Chain A
């Protein structure tokens, strides 16, 4: 599904990705872990076609830089920090539904499953919502499009325990062939969701293993 061969990315003299080689197949649910500056976000931005790079990166055989519309049509993305969008909630839903060719009702439905009362907040400006509400709406938008690839950058950071549980349950119910790339500092936060761990450090992949959650003693 995603083939990454020796990609490199530099900002002036600072190498943020250094010969990354990863092959991601349908059904892979990956915890992308590493400390700050390890290269997780840069790798995600390369996959989304937002960064130029050297090397070869294909998503479903397509180049995300040259065929971005076709590539991004398969991808659902939730950023680490909700952007300060100065649009009303209803406008954001309507615009994203139009861009992603999904129905407004589907986004509303997922948002409501996550505990966000859209009707109550329809007229509010997005960036004036609480951190948790913003995150719920962005997750609803990403999940509503039934993506083949779901890229989530620290997705549950702002969620309350109930919403986190519902969110994980929604992720668990995604079709088996969906690829999930969940960026996180710690694997234990998302251990129930993933079947593979990729660890990055200083722009390199330093670990790439299948992941089997350990069973607690006495369980």
Chain B
């Protein structure tokens, strides 16, 4: 087995035993169960009901809370190991820094992605069991969106983890980042900026740069092709990209952002003091 795979596998085993993982899996698995119990599949939005309605609600909840969960659970990975002297021990082994870093990254990606993905799969299995039509196009789109959300915020988490020297600082920075991204979503600060007649180019650029905004818009776009339920920025963006173009953008841009962040984190990790 390659060394990075051994590190990834070890990180998966450690994470699965941790309390945060138990709570994380419970929240996202429990959310799907709760949505079924609450009868979301029987309610209607914009003419949509059934499992599609449930998946939409689930992905909207994921857009709202998954980033902060990913940040909180991953931001401590490198800085936490450094503070507890775990990193000093592992790095005394003949292992390349890239193998260690990317092994941790890949392991952590699976740990955060698989519970939400399994929740999605669980919803479709249960939906099939109780004879609800499974909207497979939504299933695949939302699975891809979950990959993009996890990859993006994992990258941010690893960058913050290598930049900071203390876990408390890393946690604070990640919360501030999440709040800033949340503030610059369509219905909050951007709405205010439009009211105050800010330059449309500026507003659209900010919205495009915000991965949370792109996730939210992409999650809605198949239901509501004109995005009437969202604010004005999403509509302008949609006019510019078109539906398919925007979906491609919403999947590739966050992954690119996450990879650039993780790679920057790796360069910082490699060049400075590792412990």
User: Total A-B residue pairs with C-beta atoms closer than 8 Å?
Assistant: 71
- For A201-218 the 0/1 string (1 means CB < 8 A from B) is 000000000000000000
Main secondary structure of the interface of B (DSSP, over half): loop
The interface centre, meaning the residue of B95, B96, B272 with most chain A CB atoms within 10 A of its CB, is: B95
Q: Is A91 an interface residue (CB 8 A)?
A: yes
For window 106-146 of A, CB contacts with B under 8 Å fall at 125, 138
Q: How far is the CA of A45 from the CA of B13 in the complex (A)?
A: 28
Q: Smallest CB-CB separation from B9: which chain A residue?
A: A95
Q: Smallest CB-CB separation from B1: which chain A residue?
A: A98
A183 CB to nearest chain B CB (Å) = 14
Q: Which of A65-73, A160-168, A174-182, A184-192 touches B?
A: A65-73
A88 CB to nearest chain B CB (Å) = 8
B14 and A99 contacting across the interface, CB-CB below 8 Å: no
Select A79's contact among B88, B94, B95, B274, beta carbons within 8 Å.
B88
A87 and B13 contacting across the interface, CB-CB below 8 Å: yes
Select B94's contact among A81, A99, A138, beta carbons within 8 Å.
A99
Q: How far is the CA of A160 from the CA of B93 in the complex (A)?
A: 27
Q: Smallest CB-CB separation from A9: which chain B residue?
A: B273
Q: Is A100 an interface residue (CB 8 A)?
A: yes
- For B4-47 the 0/1 string (1 means CB < 8 A from A) is 00100010011001100000000000000000000000000000
Q: Smallest CB-CB separation from A48: which chain B residue?
A: B92
Q: Which residues of B contact A75 (CB under 8 A)?
A: 92
B93 and A99 contacting across the interface, CB-CB below 8 Å: yes
For window 80-115 of B, CB contacts with A under 8 Å fall at 84-86, 88-89, 91-97
> How many interface residues does A have (CB within 8 Å)?
29
Q: How far is the CA of A73 from the CA of B89 in the complex (A)?
A: 14
Q: Which residues of B contact A169 (CB under 8 A)?
A: none
A86 and B93 contacting across the interface, CB-CB below 8 Å: no
Q: How far is the CA of A91 from the CA of B13 in the complex (A)?
A: 10
Q: Smallest CB-CB separation from B97: which chain A residue?
A: A68
Q: Smallest CB-CB separation from A46: which chain B residue?
A: B273
Q: Which residues of B contact A79 (CB under 8 A)?
A: 85, 88-89, 92
| Given known A50-B275, A51-B275, contact A86–B14 (CB-CB < 8 A) | yes
Main secondary structure of the interface of A (DSSP, over half): mixed
> How many interface residues does B have (CB within 8 Å)?
25
A50 and B91 contacting across the interface, CB-CB below 8 Å: yes
Q: Which residues of A contact B197 (CB under 8 A)?
A: none
Q: Smallest CB-CB separation from B18: which chain A residue?
A: A86
Q: Is B137 an interface residue (CB 8 A)?
A: no
Select A52's contact among B1, B6, B271, beta carbons within 8 Å.
B271
Q: Is B128 an interface residue (CB 8 A)?
A: no
Q: Is A3 an interface residue (CB 8 A)?
A: no
| Given known A52-B271, A52-B273, contact A87–B10 (CB-CB < 8 A) | yes
Q: Which residues of A contact B271 (CB under 8 A)?
A: 52
Q: Which residues of A contact B1 (CB under 8 A)?
A: 98
A47 CB to nearest chain B CB (Å) = 10
B3 and A99 contacting across the interface, CB-CB below 8 Å: yes
B89 CB to nearest chain A CB (Å) = 5
Q: Which residues of A contact B88 (CB under 8 A)?
A: 45, 50, 79, 83
A81 and B85 contacting across the interface, CB-CB below 8 Å: yes
B262 CB to nearest chain A CB (Å) = 21
Q: How far is the CA of A73 from the CA of B3 in the complex (A)?
A: 14
Q: How far is the CA of A125 from the CA of B13 in the complex (A)?
A: 12
Q: Is A84 an interface residue (CB 8 A)?
A: yes
B272 CB to nearest chain A CB (Å) = 6
- For A73-95 the 0/1 string (1 means CB < 8 A from B) is 10101010101111100010001
A95 and B275 contacting across the interface, CB-CB below 8 Å: no
Q: Which residues of A contact B10 (CB under 8 A)?
A: 87, 91, 95
A96 and B93 contacting across the interface, CB-CB below 8 Å: yes
Q: How far is the CA of A70 from the CA of B93 in the complex (A)?
A: 10
Q: Smallest CB-CB separation from B273: which chain A residue?
A: A51
Known contacts A69-B94, A87-B10; can you find 8 more A-B pairs with CB under 8 A? A48-B92, A50-B274, A51-B273, A51-B274, A69-B95, A72-B94, A77-B92, A81-B85
**Contact residues of B with A, CB < 8 Å?**
1, 3, 6, 10, 13-14, 17-18, 84-86, 88-89, 91-97, 271-275
- 17 A-B contacts (beta carbon < 8 Å): A48-B91, A48-B92, A50-B91, A51-B273, A51-B274, A68-B96, A68-B97, A71-B94, A77-B92, A79-B88, A84-B84, A84-B85, A85-B86, A85-B89, A87-B14, A100-B93, A100-B94
